[in-house]
Amino acid sequence: MPSIEIRSATEADVPVILAMIRGLAEYEKLAHLVTATEEKLRENLFGSKPAAEVMLADYDGECAGFALFFTNYSTFLARPGIFLEDLFVKPHLRGKGIGLALFRRLAAVAVERGCGRVEWEVLDWNEPSIRFYKKLGAVPMEEWTKYRLTGEAIGKLAVEAV
């Protein structure tokens, strides 16, 4: 019977992490937006100030999926939380419990660290993932609208602050 092993990524896993990111972007029809490189990932995940953590799921010896997350903070709860930035399981290995194993380990990390919540986002067309998340007991935050500043908008705002 194949086994699932969840492990923390190491710097040696950077090429695998980048491949997973590209696989996720392709699935989400956003591959054209990926500018990540091994060098950037190495610096931002394993450098002097890691911005996020990565867990990898190995299925019968094959790297099958990943979860990339970071700590956030809830002022209302006065407790840290975890934001799951990315979760991806290779298409040919879906339905084997790999995503569930990654979520279980993430929940365990949240409990170990005293976190008050785990949050993430999902594209509204991604019905298979939405069904999966609801089976976990997750609830959509439909009353919230996400906003984002990127590139030029961040630079312009920063300059105006000076």
CATH of the domain at 34: 3.40.630.30
147 part of the active site: no
**What's the pLDDT score for residue 18?**
98
Q: Are 64 and 49 in contact (CB under 8 A)?
A: no
| pLDDT per position as a tens digit, 40-97 | 999 999 999 999 999 999 999 999 999 999 999 999 999 999 999 999 999 999 999 9
Distance CA 23, CA 81 (A): 26
| pLDDT per position as a tens digit, 130-145 | 999 999 999 999 999 9
The tally of domains found in the chain comes to 1
Q: What is the DSSP string of 76-137?
A: TTTEEEEEEEEEEE-GGGTTSSHHHHHHHHHHHHHHHTT-S-EEE---TT-HHHHHHHHHHT
* Annotated catalytic residue, options 27, 59, 73, 133: 133
pLDDT higher than 80, residue 162: no
Percent of the chain residues topping a pLDDT of 70: 99
**What's the pLDDT score for residue 161?**
65
| pLDDT per position as a tens digit, 17-37 | 999 999 999 999 999 999 999
Range(s) of the domain holding residue 119: 4-161
Q: Match 């019977």 to its residue by tokens.
A: 1
Distance CA 128, CA 125 (A): 9
Angle separating helix axes 38-46 and 14-27, nearest 10 degrees:
110
Using the Cα atoms of residue 88, residue 72, residue 135 and residue 55 in order, give the sign of their dihedral: positive
